[in-house]
Amino acid sequence: MQLARPGGTVDGAVDAATPGEPSVGRVHDGVGVLRGDVTVHRLDAGDGHDRDPGTRDAGTLDGVRLFVAVWPPESVIELVLGIDRPDVRGLRWTSEPQWHVTVRFLGDVEEPDPVADALRAVPERLRALGGAEVRAALGPTTAWFPGRQVLQVPVAGLDALAGEVAAVTAPWGDPADDRRFSGHLTLARARGRAPGPASLAGASLAATWRVRAFELVSSVLGQGGSRYETLATVALDEVTPPAP
């Protein structure tokens, strides 16, 4: 089985599954390999799927905890690695295996296979909207969410993808609301209730890339740490707009 790296490339070679067909079985067991076939994806607090590793995850009792995500390509990873990371008391910086954009959090699902099957329809649904090419735009600057607990950088351009993912996964997770999708990549989190330094907002951090694939990922948290598995990778390459 050939495994695809997450996220995509900047208008580079295709490294994902056949368009619309999920590739399966990649396990993230605590070892991050940025440029290999297997990458650990630790998860964002602002996306509803991050808990204290010392607590038992409800997904181990009621089903599998699932979310749909896009990972940035290596060129964007290098850019994020270059930002200033001052050692601030009470602030925890995220690391490169954590940098992803949650497209939809699904929560506990008893049977993941039907979700993966449903996601196969997304590329064709995008094509019906006039084209399946998805371009993400990071930045242009870092910002705090209200309360200054989570430092993040906005990621735009995923609205259509998020809308179609939400449509095909409507039977799972909480009902979608009417708010416009707002993507982000988490950079740091403040520990406790004290807000983080306001001065960390406003740093320039901007990039664009073509999204080659998105993934359905499961997560299990426990005393020994976290284990993540990519259950399906759906490619967006080579899906062209319909002929006029």
Contact 24, 232 (CB under 8 A): yes
Q: For residue 185, give every residue at least 6 positions away whose Cβ sits within 8 Å of its Cβ, in sequence order, or none.
A: 44, 72, 80, 99, 100, 101, 138, 152, 153, 155
> What letters, b where the CB count within 10 A reaches 16 and e where it falls short, cover 54-66?
eeebebeeebbbb
Q: Could you report the per-residue pLDDT of 75-123, keeping only the tens digit for each?
A: 999 999 999 999 999 999 988 878 889 999 999 999 999 999 999 999 9
Mean pLDDT computed over every residue of the chain: 76
126 against 22, higher pLDDT: 126
Domain map (residue ranges) of the chain: 26-235
Q: Which of 77, 74, 26, 22 is nearest to 213 (CA)?
A: 22
The CATH superfamily of 26-235 is Cyclic phosphodiesterase (3.90.1140.10)
The pLDDT tens digits of the residues spanning 36-73 come to 222 333 334 455 554 433 333 444 446 789 999 998 99
Tell me the whole-structure pTM to 2 decimals: 0.74
Mean pLDDT of 208-236: 81
pLDDT at 47: 56
Note the pLDDT tens digit of each residue in 136-193. 999 999 999 999 999 999 999 999 999 999 999 999 999 877 888 999 999 999 988 8
